[in-house]
Amino acid sequence: MSASQASGTRAVPRSERLQARVTPPVKALLQQAADLSGRSLSDFLVSSAREVAEKTIREHRIITLTAEESLAFANEILNPSPPNERLREAFRKPRPSQRDAAS
């Protein structure tokens, strides 16, 4: 059973190509790692690159706050300041989607 069958997802045909030039020692290192994991070099490279890409994207989506910043944020959520005049004015103006619907 393939990994896509086991996970219940349908395999998407691979149609995009990536190329990279590496030194012989780097290629030997990558090949050794692929061999040790029982995968082809291509599969090893793609899965390794995907893992790093997903991790990088995850890390950039997470906001890290200090303890003091976290408490200030929580306090603002739990005890919001009353709306000022600028905010009240913004709520009085029709949104673009409301203007389009009225036309």
pLDDT (tens place) for every residue of the chain, 103 residues total: 444 454 455 778 888 999 999 999 999 999 999 999 999 999 999 999 999 999 999 999 988 899 999 999 999 999 999 999 999 999 898 888 766 665 5
Query: Residues near 37 by Cβ (< 8 Å), separated by ≥ 6?
Result: 44
Whole-number Å distance between alpha carbons of 52 and 61 = 14
Closest alpha carbon to 18 in 44, 42, 52, 39: 42
Q: Is the dihedral of CA 72, 78, 83, 86 positive or negative?
A: positive
